[in-house]
């Protein structure tokens, strides 16, 4: 069951800025439990730094109350990737605990307590009064380029778009693409269209093969042709273009 003891602050913020008290926590929870669960996500959090330098964790999923209380020391340190992200306005990515220990030795025990092996902190631009950071922490580091960082950054852009739309009291949904990417997908043959829709749902190659009753090698061959037809190099670009077109 989701811990709701820290929800009051989230509701106050959401009611003030978004006009929808449950949306902020709900989308963080869904991002954590539904989107990143297979990537062994430890937590997802949105942190605010106000114009006068105050720090608030506005919403989180995966952090228990004890961990949230422990994060209060962020107010007195610069030894944390979230702080770097808030101060610089740019991504902070640590691919391993070794990279963390080298850059943030003072927070080594806290990293170990949370079980973080890999973390991506990315700025969320949606208010001129404060700066915001979306943190995605994982319990298992992926060597090399195994984890799709571009897809994680795309999630950040989607979250940013969601917040901006909600603040302007628009319907906060990702509309189907109406321009070039949609037309490119519609131009594909029926099986390739189905493959793209399965990719968008997050299925891996084996799952796509099982769903279509074909071999994994056929899926790989299809994706190679699909990527060429769509003008992309990897699957996360499809997400990115759909978001930008939406």
Show the domain range for 86.
Answer: 7-167
Q: What is the pLDDT of residues 9-67, one digit of tens each?
A: 333 333 333 344 345 777 777 778 877 877 888 999 888 888 888 777 777 888 776 67
Does residue 96 have a pLDDT over 80?
A: yes
Query: Based on the domain organization, do 50 and 134 belong to the same domain?
Result: yes
- Please provide the size of the chain in residues: 246
**pLDDT greater at residue 120 or residue 55:** 120
pLDDT band at residue 136 under the 50/70/90 scheme: very high
Q: Say how many domains are in the chain.
A: 2
Q: Which two tokens stand for residue 128?
A: 């001129």
- Is residue 172 in some structural domain? no
Residues 23 and 145 in one domain: yes
Is residue 76 exposed (0-12), middle (13-18) or buried (19+ Cβ within 10 Å)?
exposed
100-110 mean pLDDT = 88
Tell me, what's the pLDDT at 244?
Answer: 53
pLDDT at res. 157? 81
Q: Is residue 15 part of a domain?
A: yes
Region of residue 53 (left: phi > 0; alpha: psi -120 to 50; beta: else): left
What average pLDDT does the segment 177-192 reach?
A: 75
Q: How far is CA 151 from CA 35, 75, 224, 232, 246, in A?
A: 11, 30, 18, 13, 17
Residue 37: give its domain's CATH number: 3.30.450.40
- What integer is the mean pLDDT of 153-174? 66
Q: Mark whether 77 and 185 lie in a shared domain.
A: no
Distance CA 243, CA 156 (A): 11
Q: Which of 170, 150, 154 is nearest to 243 (CA)?
A: 154
At 218 the pLDDT is: 92
Out of 133, 167, 201, pick the residue that ends a domain.
167
pLDDT in tens, 59-91: 788 877 667 666 666 666 667 899 899 989 999
CA distance 155 to 96: 21
* Pairing mode, strands 92-94 and 55-61: unpaired
- Give 159 or 92, the one with higher predicted confidence: 92
Same domain as 83, residue 11: yes
Confidence of residue 217 (pLDDT cuts 50, 70, 90): very high
Residue 42 sits in the same domain as residue 163: yes
Enter the DSSP assignment of 176.
P
**pLDDT value of residue 177:** 36
20 and 78, same domain (yes or no): yes
pLDDT category, 175, cuts 50, 70, 90?
A: very low
Positions of E strands within the chain: 41-49, 55-61, 92-94, 118-124, 131-138
Are 188 and 222 in contact by the 8 Å Cβ rule? The answer is no
Q: Residue 179's Cα: distance from chain center in Å?
A: 24
Q: What percent of the chain has pLDDT over 70?
A: 72
**Which of 146, 167, 188 delimits the end of a domain?**
167
């Amino acid at each position: 069951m989701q811990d709701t003891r820290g929800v009051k602050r989230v509701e106050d913020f959401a009611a003030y800025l978004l006009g929808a008290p449950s949306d902020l926590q709900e989308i963080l929870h869904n991002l954590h439990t539904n989107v990143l669960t297979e990537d062994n996500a430890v937590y997802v959090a949105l942190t605010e730094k106000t114009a006068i330098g105050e720090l608030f964790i506005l919403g989180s999923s995966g952090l228990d109350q004890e961990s949230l209380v422990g994060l209060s020391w962020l107010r007195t340190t610069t030894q944390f990737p979230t702080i770097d992200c808030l101060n610089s306005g740019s991504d902070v990515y640590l691919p391993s605990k070794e990279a963390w220990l080298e850059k943030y030795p003072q927070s080594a025990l806290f990293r170990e307590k949370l079980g973080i092996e890999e973390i991506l902190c990315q700025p969320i631009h949606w208010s001129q009064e404060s700066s915001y950071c979306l943190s995605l922490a994982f319990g298992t580091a992926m060597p090399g380029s195994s984890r799709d960082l571009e897809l994680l950054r795309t999630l950040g852009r989607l979250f940013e778009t969601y917040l901006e739309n909600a603040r302007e009291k628009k319907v906060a949904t990702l509309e189907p693409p109406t321009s070039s990417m949609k037309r490119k997908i519609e131009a594909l043959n029926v099986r390739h269209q189905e493959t793209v829709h399965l990719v968008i749902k997050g299925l891996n190659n084996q799952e796509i093969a099982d769903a279509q009753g074909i071999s994994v090698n056929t899926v790989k061959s299809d994706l190679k042709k699909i990527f060429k037809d769509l003008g992309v190099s990897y699957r996360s670009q499809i997400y990115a273009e759909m978001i930008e077109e939406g």
